Amino acid sequence: MDLSTFDFAALLQLRTDVDAEIRRRESEEKAKAAKQVMDLIRTHGLDIQELATKSTKTVAAGTRKPVDAKYRHPDDASLSWTGRGRKPLWVVTWLDSGRNLDDLLIK
């Protein structure tokens, strides 16, 4: 289709028609997908509520709980570190002063 042959009004109308057709087909595709899902549910004897609950539990099971601190500054108990990720500045300073990381272990 050579769009250069269309005048401005015809192009605007074409855009309107294309947008309407896209919306219509999107609606058809969603209805078709919903029917396929419902057919699978019926075929396998599944319950929609049960599926929704299971998928929610699966997502919740993937969340992690906070990790307890493994290291703490001996002079300032508010400074702690789990030992994961980048070392905090206070740990880097501690190590740069020639001290050992094991001295910071929480016992």
Domain extent listing, the chain: 3-61, 71-104
pLDDT value of residue 57: 63
Phi, psi for residue 88 in degrees, rounded to 5: -65, 160
Q: Which two tokens stand for residue 41?
A: 């549910």
Among the listed residues 82, 59, 57, 84, the one whose alpha carbon sits nearest the alpha carbon of residue 71 = 82
Average pLDDT of the chain, as a whole number: 90
Rg of the chain's alpha carbons, rounded to an integer? Answer: 31
d(CA 97, CA 90): 11
Percentage of the residues of the chain whose pLDDT score is greater than 90 = 74
Instruction: Convert the pLDDT of each residue in 35-45 to its tens digit.
Output: 999 999 989 88
Q: Assess contact for 82 and 68: CB atoms under 8 A.
A: yes
